[in-house]
Structure 1
């Protein structure tokens, strides 16, 4: 089975956890163990998030400019490509540490977007570390940065336009069909657009779940899985919350999910199922093997209604 796995940036670095290489390495070791357990039996492409990672690089750039004003901060497309190498390197290494027989390849991937996308007028994508509401308001008062609530914390938000095309799609398929576990489209891919026949970077972050869905469609995946904190819930966080075992795009259309977190994930899995190529699922990284057998997570398939655990 050909599977596209979308691995959340917060699954690689837990919410509120210090943004250290050691913490990230420890979490990636756990992620690699879950993925390696299925990699020998399936064709696997991993699309990882980069919200915390690219946000940290943005903060480090700003701090360095205070020391060296003539050193302008690197644009977000360049920072995004840096996270592709950083996270891809760790994933690639830890997968082979678990199973030396695995062939693993990381590909820095460009994703095309449109500069006319309305997302540039309404930033929603969370990046960087968490702040208290007071700290976030202090930063907004003296800069053009925008922050929004993310649970009990506040985080910076940036534009997140829709992905239009994956530039290195053919290279991904070549690596996949030659027996590699492929790590691609990191952070949703490096955002680029076409300007007078040339590719140029764009100041934004693409939602990795939407890019992963586009990739799943274009390489004809059998299953598209988003690995995050857990399943889809009805009324998450409320007294009557209920975990969904099986859902359909029709059933999910009756709920409103937060735009900055579960919303894009639900949109992505529904879009893949509606494409007619296969099923999709949302669940915990550490339940991956059980997600494939519908013993954990939420399976999304064609039809009507919702089944709860």
Structure 2
């Protein structure tokens, strides 16, 4: 009997999964959180998929930027694209350690690899003219003025809490290492890729160079899933199922919805931009490219969701 073709699942989860707001964000805390999440990730592999993991890095890159700012008088600051690259490496190391340890404990023959991932963006993207993505910590008015004058940062006043830097968030156009990522996954590795949305790069004067920007992790993972030909795109988030009328007495949990239904709920305002909206948008982009399914759930409910007992599946419209 011929071997069944291998299936690929691209899994996206946020940086807050490793560094929740209620924690200090120490290395030890992040390692413990990765240890706890690793069994769920391996559950996907045990369900018959080759796994590509895309993590966020919001808290981690914020920490690194704060460290840069505090030591700026002694050590030159790293540009934002280098900070994204650095956190890809650190988080990849944390996840690799967790997954290898869990594989050993469970007797699973799997290894992991982290791919430092560059993501091409359009240098003419309107996001560069209108930076909106807040990053890093809060600053005093004096510090904000200093960084604006010395570094050319765009600064906003954030809801009376202080001043924050805002950066462009351009749309990802191409995952530069997608071919290598796919080949590694099909070779049996659990691959960490596109961390933090990837390092933003663009072709300037006939060479690729890094840009100071942050790419949305959900859009980058959706594009990666399409480019590697994923059979399933999984978005791990803070709720086990997507809902309409969220938090209201008439809240309704959704088990399976079509693209048309998701678009309808989006237009009705059920998926706000600051929460579920970007995840639904990323899901719809993937389905439009692939005609495959998307699963949205939590890490804790992932095993049940893969068995159809939890989570929300978004599926193509029936032809």
Q: TM-score range by the shorter chain?
A: 0.7 to 0.9
Show the counterpart of 2:220: 211
Q: Which residue of structure 1 lines up, in the alignment, with residue 127 of structure 2?
A: 119
- TM-score scaled by length of structure 1: 0.87
Answer yes or no: is the 8 Å Cα contact 2:140–2:162 preserved in 1.
no
Q: What TM-score comes out, normalization by structure 2 length? A: 0.84
Tell which structure's C-alpha radius of gyration is larger.
2
The superposition leaves residues 171-230 of structure 1 with CA deviations (integer Å, 9 ceiling, x where unpaired) of 112211211111111111111111122110011111111111111111111100111112
Equivalent position SS for 1:2:
strand
- Per-residue CA distance 1:275-307 (angstroms, 9 max, x = gap): 243100111122111222232221101128xxx
Say which SS state the counterpart of residue 4 (structure 1) adopts: strand
Give the C-alpha shift of residue 157 in structure 1.
Answer: 4.6
- What whole-Å deviation, never above 9, does each CA across 1:153-182 have from its counterpart, x for those lacking one? 998653211101111112112211211111
Q: 1:154 to 1:87 in 2, by over 3 A?
A: farther
Q: Please point out which of 176, 180, 186 is paired with 1:177.
A: 186
Partner residue in 1 for 2:234: 225
* Match status 1:31 vs 2:37: yes
Q: Which runs of 5+ in 2 are unaligned?
A: 1-6, 149-153
2:81 aligned partner: 77
- 1:269 partner SS: helix
Aligned residues: 295
Please identify, of 171-180 and 285-294, the stretch whose mean Cα deviation from structure 2 is larger: 285-294
Distance 1:122 1:242 in 2: 36
Pair 1:109–1:251, CA change in 2 (3 A): same
Match of 1:146 among 132, 145, 156: 156
Matched, 1:278 2:292: yes
Q: Which runs of 5+ in 1 are unaligned?
A: 305-309
After superposition, the CA RMSD in angstroms is: 2.5
Segments of 4+ moved more than 4 angstroms: 135-143, 152-157
Q: In the alignment, which of 14, 17, 20 is matched to residue 23 of structure 2?
A: 17
| Whole-Å separation in 1 of the counterparts to 2:121 and 2:302 | 31
Q: Does 1:302 align with 2:311?
A: no
| Residues 155-194 of structure 1 mapped to structure 2, 5 A cutoff | 157-194=166-203
Tell me what 1:88 maps to. Answer: 92
